[in-house]
Amino acid sequence: MGEEADFLVVGAGIVGLATAYHIARSCGGCRVLVVEKNHGPGHGDTGRSAAGFRAAFSSWVNAVLALSSVEYYLEVQRRGTDLGMKLVGYLFAVPADAVERFEEINAMLRSLGVGVEEYSAEELEEGLGLRAKPLDEEAQLMGLPEVVAGFLYQPAGIMRPERLVEHYYRLCKEHNVEFIFGRSVERLLVEPVPALGVRGEPLPWQVARIVGAEVEGLGEVRAGITVVAAGALTYSLLEPIGLDPHFRPRKQRVYALRARTPEMQRLLHVEGFNEEDTAPFILLPRGIYLRPVPEEESFWTGGSTRLGHPVAWEPEPVPEPWIYEYGVAPVLRAYLPAFAAAASYDAAWAGFYDTSLDSKPVVHRFAEGLVVAGGTSGSGIMKADAVGRAAAALALGEEEAVLHGGRRLPLEQLGLDGRLVEQEKLVI
C-alpha cells in the first residue's frame, strides 16, 4: 500500500520547505507530504549556497519577490530567531558602459523602498583598496574594464542558510507537514482521464493529469496536487513525461579564502560601508563576487560560468581548481590588490543553480495536478518566502499570491504565459 496526501511536495530545499509551510498554513486539515532524496532538509543546493541576500535586481518581479522575502526574514530575526543575517550590503563595482543602465535600475529600486548609495571610483579606492583601473599585462589580456562607480544596496547582506532551513522546517512541523527523507522520486505518475487500461495511455485524445509520484522503496504516493520544487533536478523529473520546466541546471563553485594577510584583514573589517564594520558583498566586473565571512575570518568567492561550459546535473559536483586559478583569482587580484598573494584557496564546494531563460522564477501549472516552483537562478534563498507563497497559492487554486507585507502578485507574472511576448497556441 502506498501513501496518499492532499499535497505532495517534491524537494525539501528552501523553496520546497517554504511552499509546504504556506500550503499547510493556508489549508488547515490538509495532509501535506514532502519527499526528499537527501537525509534531511536543505542538504542539497540550498546548503551549498553562498548565502547572500539582496533586493537589488533589474527585474521588477525579482525585486518584489526578493524584497518581500528579505523583509520577512528580517522580521523573523527581530522577533528572536537568529538567522545569522548581517546587513553588510551588496556593492556593485560598475564600469562606464553600465552606469546608465544602473541608474535606470536604481530609480525603479528606490520606488520600491530599496536604499541605494553611490560611490565614486576614488572613494572605492580609498575605502576598499579597489584598483579601479587595472593596467598590468594580465588585466589587459583579460580585457577588464575600468570601474567608474559603485552602487551599494540595502537591505542586503549575508545570512546562515541552515538557520533559515531550520526556521521553515520547524514551521512545517508545527503545521503537521510530514516528511519522507532519503527517498528519491523515480517518476511522476500520469493518469489518463478516463483510464481504459490499454497500451500507450494517455492516448492523443485523452486528457491526462499528474496524480502523485513513484518513490524509491515506497511505491506510489498519490496526491491531489503535486508540487515539484526539486531545483536543478526538476528537468530530469519532467522530461520523461514530455514537459519542459523552462529552466536548467548550471554549476556554481564557491572557494573559501582565509584572511591571512594584513591587507585581507583590513578589507574584511573595513569601516564606513555598513554598521557591521565589515566588507560589503562585492560584485566585480566579469561576474566575480567576494563575500565576507567575518565569523570565520574568511572570504568566499566564485563566479558565473559562461559559454563553453556544459549544462548538466552531476550527483556529486566538484569545484575544479582551474576555475579558481584561471577564472576567479586573476579578476580578484586585478581589482583588489589585497588578494595578490591568494594564489590558492583553503576549501571549496559546488552546487547547482536552476537557471531560467530570463533569470526569473517559474511558478506554473504545467498539467492538471502538477505545479512546478523553480528557476530561481541562484537566488532561491533571497526569494524563497515569496516563491513559496506563490507556489502555495497556485496549488490551492488562487490567481494571485499575497506576499509578506500585503502586496498582491498576479501568478501569471511567474507563469509561462505571462512572460512570453507571443505564444503560438495552435501547435499540433
Helix, strand, coil percentages, rounded to 5, for the chain: 35, 30, 35
Which pLDDT belongs to residue 135? Answer: 83
Residues above pLDDT 70, as percent of the chain = 96
Residues with Cβ within 8 Å of 82's Cβ and at least 6 positions away in sequence, in order, are 163
If you average pLDDT over residues 336-365, what whole number do you get? Answer: 94
Q: Rounded to whole angstroms, what are the CA distances from 50 to 208, 311, 356, 412?
A: 40, 20, 19, 30
* 173: Cβ contacts below 8 Å, ≥ 6 apart: none
Joined grid coordinates for residue 71: 523583509
Summarize pLDDT for 31-50 with one digit per residue, the tens.
999 999 999 999 999 999 99
pLDDT of residue 308: 66
- E-state strands within 155-287: 156-158, 178-181, 185-193, 207-215, 219-228, 247-258, 281-284
pLDDT of 283 higher than 90: yes
Alpha carbons 267 and 397: distance in angstroms, whole number:
50
Cα 390 to Cα 363: distance, rounded to the nearest angstrom: 7
For residue 294, the tally of other CB atoms under 10 A from its CB is 17
* Per-chain mean pLDDT for the chain: 94
What are the b/e assignments for 142-152, b being 16+ CB within 10 Å? eebbebbbbbb
pLDDT for 298-320, tens place per residue?
999 998 766 667 677 788 899 99
What tens digit of pLDDT does each residue of 150-183 get? 999 999 999 999 999 999 999 999 999 999 999 9
Asked whether the predicted pLDDT for residue 19 surpasses 70, the reply is yes
Q: Is the pLDDT of residue 417 over 90?
A: no
14: confidence class by pLDDT, cuts 50, 70, 90: very high
Residue 427 clears pLDDT 70, i.e. is over it = no
Residue tagged 528552501 (cell numbers): 14
C-alpha cell at 25: 498554513
pTM: 0.95
| pLDDT score for 208 | 93
Could you give the angle at the alpha carbon of 213 between the alpha carbons of 211 and 217, nearest 5°? Answer: 145
**Domains of the chain by start residue, with CATH:** 3-48+162-246+358-413 (3.50.50.60), 90-154+252-352 (3.30.9.10)
Residue 428 predicted with pLDDT over 70? no
Pull the grid cell for residue 402. Answer: 499575497
- Residues found in the chain: 428
Residues sharing a CB contact under 8 Å with residue 126, sequence separation 6 or more, in sequence order? none
With CA atoms as reference, report the closest residue to 329 among 290, 282, 281, 378. 290
Cell of 158: 549575508
Query: What number of CA atoms fall less than 13 Å from residue 406's CA on the CB side?
Result: 0
Hey, how many other C-beta atoms are within 10 angstroms of the C-beta on 308? 5
Measured between alpha carbons, how far is residue 132 from residues 90, 121, 127, 192, 345 in Å?
18, 6, 12, 62, 24
Say what the pLDDT of residue 1 is: 53
Question: Is 264 a residue whose pLDDT tops 90?
Answer: yes
Half-sphere exposure of 270 (CA within 13 A, CB side): 24
The sign of the CA dihedral 31, 37, 39, 40 is negative
